[in-house]
Each structure stands twice: as C-alpha cells, then as structure tokens.
Amino acid sequence: MGFFKRSRNQSVEVKGLGSSLIARRLDDVRAAPTGSAVVWQKGEQELVYCFHPGPYQVDVTPFAAAPEIGLRLRFVIEANPRVSQQRFDLYLFSEAAEELGLADLGAAAQGALQHELAQGGLELPPCTSLEEWHAFRAGLNQLLYTRFGVTVDDCVPVDLGDSIDYAAVLRVRATAPVSAPAPACPSAGEGAVRSVPAPAAVDRAADARALRRLFLELPALTGGIRLLILPKGRDTFQSHQAILQRLSLLALSVGSMPSLEWHTPDQPLESAQQLRRIAHSQAAAVALDEAWALLAQLQMQSLAPWLERADEADRILANLEYHLSQRRIAYVDQDEQPLERREPKL
C-alpha cells in the first residue's frame, strides 16, 4: 500500500494544480504534489485523487439568452467535519475523469445554475432588489454545495461584454446555415426521449457513466433526504417515508440494471434499441441532477414548503422511475404505429 510512507520531499509538481486544474487522478499516491489533499476510494478498483482546495475563480453565464452579463464566482473546497463522506469526494469519484479542470467544473456549475433558473428553483429577475439578491445568493451557495461540494465565498455580477460580443455571435448565426437537425425519429413509439438528442453511434461509455453516477449518488442523495429536518405532522412524515422508499427501490433498480448490449443471454440487442437505452439512462442522470437541486432547496428552507415541494419531488421520482424502467426494457417495438390503437378502453 505504502500510503503512509509518503514523504514530503518526494512530491512532484502537477502543472496548473490550484489554478486551472482542480483535481487529478493519481496512479501512485506517493506522487501527490505539495499542498494538495489526497482522497481515495477503496473498492475493487482503488481510485486516488489529489486536489487543491483553492480558492478558484470562474465566470458563469446565468442565462444563455444574455451572454454579456455574468456572475463571477469564487469558491474553495472545504471539508465539512460532520459528515463521513465529503460531497466533493463523491463528485470526484462519480463524475470526474482523469482530470477535473476549472473549466469543467465551471461549465457544470453553469449548467446546473441555468437549469435551476429555468425551472424556477432560483430567481434572478431583471432589476434584482437587494433582498432578492441575498435570497439568490443563499440558494446558489446551497445548490453548488449540495451538487458539487464546493463552497462559494464570493459571487458578484460582472459585465462580460469585454470577452463576449453578442453582436459577433449573431453575425456567426446569420452566416452559418441552420444546422440543428431534427431530433431522431420523434414519432417512433416511446423512443421520444426529450432533451437528450440521440447520439449517432452507440456510446457505451455514456451509458456506463450515467449508470455509475446513479449507482454512486442515489444512496448519498437518499441519505441527504433522510437527514432533512421536517415539520411535525402525519402527512409530512408519510410523504417523507414514501419518498425514501421510492429512492431505495430506484437504487435497487440501478444496482440490478441489465447490461446494454444484450437482449437475452446469447442474443445481442440491435443498435437502435441500445441507443434508446442510452438516451434513457442519460435522461435519468438529468433527473438525478434535478433531485440534487431539490435537496438543496429543501435544505435551505426545510420548514414551510415541504408539501409544496412534494409535487416536485413526485415529478422527479416519477421521471427517474420512468427512465430507469425504459432503460431496463430490452425491446420497444418502434414500428408500432399509433394508427392501430390498442390502448385500454376506459
């Protein structure tokens, strides 16, 4: 093992760590650079990462339609002594590849922020008042901590007009041909998975990544929801219990998910069906992101709005259940036309 033989003198420099690079996977733990923290996950494959706690600074655009106004975030990676597994460690093991660059985390944070603003979980309206800004800041801090495990210590609105020229963006759009292709085969039965355009080639790694995320993160998410402090009352208790039960069943479903390529033993699945399965596992990962964002909201204001949020929780869980069940199904007849109606008569 040799973890404890590490001597400070031996350590090497990793280029960019602490500025443009946040974390990096290590093949040899003794090669951890000075000033960085090391985390490892034991399992069949041992994974070791070193990361620099920061601080880092990154600009994000809260609205895709307003590219010239942004937010400048400064964040650090801090350990919370009260939890057994740090959220940032889980993020590294679950989502980071060989390296986690500042740009990667910035893009992921921007995606989470834009999605949450579009859904209405966070509000950043025009002519934001001071009160609304504080509410937004609190929500943003909680979202980024719950989702990525980073602690935002400063966030200011910035004018990105110097780096991004919206007029130039529009000029490019005017000259470029309309390229966005129609989503694949939208009329084909249940194959119409939204928001995830079907990739052209079978991308097994994408499916594996999505399922790995679900496998690792669903138990942690369940733990977070279990620990929520809720108002007293029978309805609250029962809906809380129901959510926990459904999450456990979802984790079970992910743990027993059939492999991508096989219809039955010895019978490979055709590639169109594999693409359908991949699209559904990726859509399930999107629903997982929404569940983290919802957990952040519930952690913020756990008292009043529980029953209001219960509908949102129900929607997210129903989406997860739907996508996982579709991922599980080996075969959906895509030629089945809606002409021959075989729906149950009510």
Residue 2 touches another protein, criterion: CB under 8 A: no
The residue with tokens 């990676």 is 77
**In the complex, least distance from residue 304 CB atom to another protein, rounded to whole angstroms:** 13
* Distance separating alpha carbons of residues 52 and 73, to the nearest angstrom: 17
Residues in 113-142 that interact with another protein by CB under 8 A: 115, 117-120, 123-130, 132-133
- The nearer residue to another protein, 194 or 204, going by C-beta atoms, is 194
- The nearer residue to another protein, 11 or 334, going by C-beta atoms, is 334
Q: Long-range CB contacts (< 8 A, 24+ apart) of 303-310?
A: 303/231, 304/231, 306/230, 306/231, 306/236, 306/239, 306/240, 307/235, 307/236, 307/239, 310/239, 310/243
Residue 304 touches another protein, criterion: CB under 8 A: no
What mask of x and - would describe binding to another protein in positions 186 to 205, judged by CB under 8 A? xx-xx-x-xx----------
- The nearer residue to another protein, 87 or 323, going by C-beta atoms, is 323
Query: Which pair of tokens denotes residue 162?
Result: 């110097």
Amino acid at residue number 177: P
What mask of x and - would describe binding to another protein in positions 72 to 111, judged by CB under 8 A? ----------------------------------------
Assess whether the previous peptide bond of 305 is cis (omega < 30° from 0).
no
Burial track 7-22 (b if 16+ CB lie within 10 A, e otherwise): eeeebeebeebbeebb
Query: Which pair of tokens denotes residue 174?
Result: 């005017």
Interacting residues toward another protein by CB under 8 A: 62-69, 115, 117-120, 123-130, 132-133, 157, 159, 161, 166-168, 170-171, 173-174, 178, 180, 182-183, 186-187, 189-190, 192, 194-195, 235, 238-239, 242, 246, 283, 287, 307, 310-311, 313-315, 318-319, 321-323, 337-339, 343, 346
